[in-house]
């Protein structure tokens, strides 16, 4: 395990944990490293690829490398099948079973909050419209936002 991977092992494990538990297609965590440094980026793709980018250097991370690392505590969330999620790019309407969007948003927010500062987390989810995923983005102290196609919609402050 490289020094960089070791330093961010819990964050890496947490990104994978959220992706797997929530059924996300993609999860990205930007970790605030302070005013004088670039954010560190951890990206998990639906094909299982995991990457860590620190100070402009990207390093692939094998899942086995962090398999024994416990993730940060995240809220319980269940994977949602794409058939249960519907989006309308024109109106910004998201349709899902009761409580699902709040649970997903809460988990994304908890991931960002676990790493402090201005850290931000995003997660992309498949919908029943195959070419129309939606993304949730969250940062502590700010409104959760959803992106559908090229449009961004903010949820009310304090939600979920």
How far is 139 from 109, CA to CA, in rounded Å? 6
How many Cα atoms within 13 Å fall on the side-chain side of residue 145? 15
How far is 116 from 114, CA to CA, in rounded Å? 6
Give, for all 160 residues of the chain, the pLDDT tens digit: 789 999 999 999 999 999 999 999 999 999 999 988 899 999 999 888 999 999 999 999 998 999 999 999 999 999 999 999 999 877 778 899 999 999 999 999 999 999 999 999 999 999 998 889 999 999 999 999 999 888 898 999 889 9
Strand bridging mode 86-88 / 151-154: unpaired
Strand bridging mode 120-125 / 151-154: unpaired
Would you give the DSSP letter of residue 143?
-
137 cis-preceded (ω within 30 degrees of 0): no
Closest CA to 25 of 42, 44, 53: 44
């Amino acid at each position: 395990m490289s020094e960089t991977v070791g330093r961010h092992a819990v964050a890496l494990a947490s990104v994978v944990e959220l992706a797997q538990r929530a059924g996300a297609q993609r999860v990205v965590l930007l970790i605030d490293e302070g005013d004088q440094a670039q954010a560190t980026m951890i990206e998990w793709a639906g094909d299982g690829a995991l990457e860590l980018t620190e100070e402009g250097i990207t390093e692939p991370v094998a899942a086995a490398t962090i398999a024994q690392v416990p993730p940060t505590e995240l809220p319980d969330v269940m994977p949602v099948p794409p058939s249960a999620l519907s989006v309308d790019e024109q109106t910004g309407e998201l349709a899902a079973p009761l409580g699902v969007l709040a649970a997903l948003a809460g988990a994304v927010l908890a991931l960002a909050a676990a790493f402090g500062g201005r850290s931000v987390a995003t997660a992309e989810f498949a919908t029943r419209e195959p070419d129309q995923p939606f993304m949730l983005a969250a940062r502590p102290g700010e409104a959760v936002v959803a992106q559908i196609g090229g449009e961004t919609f903010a949820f009310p402050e304090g939600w979920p």
